[in-house]
């Protein structure tokens, strides 16, 4: 294959004699079990383990630096450059590895809106990963299958290991995207989330050119037809809070905001399921059944039931299932322009209020900050204290362009459509992690519901001093002392010290952004 062009190499793999094309769910499950790739849980879900890599490998992600991307991509730690020659050489080696093996191809779409969707093709050497992408992306119906023409291809070779000295990679794993050839190469990792997120990165590059804002958020719609967005990093509650029995789910993770409204990039959900219970998250719990994929979930040795409380393999246990497995989901996943936008933060320092109404300038500040906190013990190298995590636009690892591009697009849309913006702390109250307690899901749901229904519009607000945020003095179903974070702490001086420390970290992070004085001054002010 060395004499073929990159696209010829892909075409040769896609049309080989050992390629299983567009197999249905039941056949993929059967083959995954037969090939020893996965097990079947008692609830019918297919359970796969991903080995040593149980999450994304952001330091192993590369973008081809060529004439198309050189002056456009925001190069740095997130978008690491690789030469076209290195990419082509690695592509040839991956193709040689895949050639002659049994492969699984799925022709799918990224995007529920037919005007803006991207036809994609995923080729992988594992049946369970083919099932994963079939359930996660938008599946063509029978009428459109023949007309499906992929505009981007993912080659996933989890059993192929890179040689850093030869391939120019940091480790044996790699996720490489070539926007000119429209190919994604993935190898050295069995974590299927890399496939999902690689295409999200592709959309983040392509759709702004079509006046579509790509967003790392979930979305749902109320009985009144009003759409709401939920931004947040992993573990902040995007999936949990958007899966509301009283509202219809558009999608749980990735969306576009076009001139016509909101549309889901995906056709499925990818929910964290550590400590999942039917009582706390009934819709997600019930969605995990035959046709779903569980990653790194431990099964009971006798019953075969998933033990969602067992994090021995990883805290990042995951469930992938089609969005229509959620009751009251919106099919196709499209909605109108949002009336409310929620920024979710799992504040392990315990100083942010449970909910705050943001001014337009504060909205831009907190969107660019993209704050949450990592917890002690959840990652190698973390000490006993929480660690703040700032990820611009709540999705920095997936942004090929500079953050201000997306922030300006969001600001324009919030203003044009008069959307209210809220900051919601789903983290700790009454003290930092290890001292206080995690926010009650019931309280978070009550606060979000009150904001979405307009109930908080009739409640007085006060400004808390630490972050200058406007907070309600009351909310049905939520104790009043919870609403003001300082009041929830027994040791008020400890709160003041912790809040000042976190404010200083916000300020330090925000120095990287070139914004107006009004936006910069909308953030917290560190106090000596």
Rounded distance between C-alpha atoms, residue 71 and residue 65, angstroms: 9
Per annotation, catalytic residue among 54, 198, 234, 426: 234
Active site residue 216: yes
Per annotation, catalytic residue among 238, 272, 339, 357: 238
Question: Cα-flanking dihedrals φ and ψ of residue 74, to 5°?
Answer: -85, 85
**DSSP per position, 326-354:** STTB-SS-EE--EEEEEEEE--TTS-S-S
Closest CA to 314 of 96, 508, 54: 54
Rounded distance between C-alpha atoms, residue 261 and residue 461, angstroms: 30
Is residue 243 helix, strand or coil? coil
Contact 35, 282 (CB under 8 A): no
Active site residue 197: yes
Rounded distance between C-alpha atoms, residue 210 and residue 215, angstroms: 14
Contact 342, 424 (CB under 8 A): yes
Active site residue 253: yes
Rounded distance between C-alpha atoms, residue 129 and residue 123, angstroms: 9
Q: Which residues of 82-102 are buried (b: 16+ CB within 10 A; e: fewer)?
A: beeebbbebbbbbbebbeeee
Question: Cα-flanking dihedrals φ and ψ of residue 99, to 5°?
Answer: -60, 125
Per annotation, catalytic residue among 318, 339, 445, 505: 318
In terms of Cβ atoms closer than 10 Å to its own Cβ (0-12, 13-18, 19+), residue 512 is: exposed
Contact 246, 359 (CB under 8 A): no
Per annotation, catalytic residue among 65, 252, 253, 347: 253
Q: What is the DSSP letter of 374?
A: E
Per annotation, catalytic residue among 216, 247, 396, 432: 216
Per annotation, catalytic residue among 50, 53, 54, 56: 56
Cα 370 to the center of its chain, rounded Å: 13
Between the alpha carbon of residue 432 and those of residues 55, 74, 523, the distances in Å are 26, 35, 21
Active site residue 318: yes
Active site residue 449: no
Rounded distance between C-alpha atoms, residue 481 and residue 488, angstroms: 6
Between the alpha carbon of residue 331 and those of residues 160, 239, 253, 449, 519, the distances in Å are 37, 17, 16, 23, 38
**DSSP per position, 145-166:** HTT---SEEEEEETT----HHH
Per annotation, catalytic residue among 69, 169, 198, 239: 239
Rounded distance between C-alpha atoms, residue 375 and residue 383, angstroms: 9
Q: Name 46's bridge partners.
A: 40, 293
Active site residue 329: no
Question: Cα-flanking dihedrals φ and ψ of residue 481, to 5°?
Answer: -70, -15
Catalytic positions, please? 56, 197, 216, 234, 238-239, 253, 318
């Amino acid at each position: 294959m060395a004499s073929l062009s990159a696209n010829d190499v892909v075409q040769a793999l896609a049309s080989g004699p050992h390629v299983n094309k567009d197999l249905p769910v039941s056949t993929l499950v059967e083959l995954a079990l037969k090939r020893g790739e996965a097990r079947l849980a008692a609830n019918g879900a297919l359970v796969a383990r991903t080995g040593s890599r149980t999450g994304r490998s952001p330091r192993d992600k590369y973008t081809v630096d060529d004439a198309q991307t050189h002056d456009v991509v925001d190069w740095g730690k997130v978008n690491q450059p690789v030469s076209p020659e290195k990419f082509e050489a690695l592509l040839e080696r991956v193709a040689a590895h895949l050639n002659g093996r049994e492969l699984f191809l799925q022709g799918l779409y990224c995007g529920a809106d037919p005007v803006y969707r991207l036809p994609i093709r995923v080729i992988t050497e594992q049946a369970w990963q083919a099932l994963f992408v079939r359930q996660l992306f938008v599946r063509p119906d029978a009428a459109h299958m023949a007309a499906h023409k992929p505009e981007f291809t993912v080659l996933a070779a989890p059993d192929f290991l890179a040689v850093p000295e030869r391939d120019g990679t940091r480790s044996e794993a790699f996720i490489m995207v070539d926007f000119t050839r429209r190919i994604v190469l993935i190898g050295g990792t069995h974590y299927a989330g890399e496939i999902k997120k690689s295409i999200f990165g592709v959309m983040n590059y392509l759709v702004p050119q079509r006046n579509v804002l790509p967003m790392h958020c979930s979305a749902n719609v109320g009985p009144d037809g009003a759409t709401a967005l939920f931004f947040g990093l992993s573990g902040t509650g995007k999936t949990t809070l958007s899966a509301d029995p009283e509202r219809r789910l558009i999608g749980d993770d990735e969306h576009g905001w076009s001139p016509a409204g909101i549309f889901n990039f995906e056709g499925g959900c990818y929910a964290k399921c550590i400590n999942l219970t039917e009582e706390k998250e009934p819709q997600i719990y019930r969605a995990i059944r035959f046709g779903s994929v569980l990653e790194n979930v431990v099964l009971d040795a006798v019953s075969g039931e998933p033990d969602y409380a067992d994090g021995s393999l990883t805290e990042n246990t995951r469930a992938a299932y089609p969005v229509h497995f959620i009751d009251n989901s919106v099919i196709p996943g499209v909605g109108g322009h949002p009336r409310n936008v929620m920024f979710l933060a799992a504040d392990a320092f315990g100083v942010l209020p449970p909910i705050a109404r943001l001014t337009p300038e504060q909205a831009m500040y907190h969107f660019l900050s993209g704050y949450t906190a990592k917890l002690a013990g959840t990652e190698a190298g973390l000490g006993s204290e929480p660690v703040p995590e700032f990820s611009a636009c709540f999705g920095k690892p997936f942004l090929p362009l500079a953050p201000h591009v997306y922030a300006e697009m969001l600001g324009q849309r919030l203003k044009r459509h008069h959307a209210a913006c809220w900051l919601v702390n789903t983290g700790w109250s009454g003290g930092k992690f290890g001292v206080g307690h995690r926010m009650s899901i019931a309280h978070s749901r009550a606060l979000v519901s009150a904001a979405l229904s307009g109930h908080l519009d009739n409640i007085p607000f006060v400004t808390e001093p630490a972050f200058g945020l406007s907070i309600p003095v009351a909310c049905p179903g939520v104790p009043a002392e919870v609403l003001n974070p300082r009041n929830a702490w027994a040791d008020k001086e400890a709160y003041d010290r912790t809040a000042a420390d976190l404010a200083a970290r916000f300020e330090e992070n925000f120095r990287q952004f070139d914004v107006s004085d009004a936006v910069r001054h909308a953030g917290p002010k560190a106090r000596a």
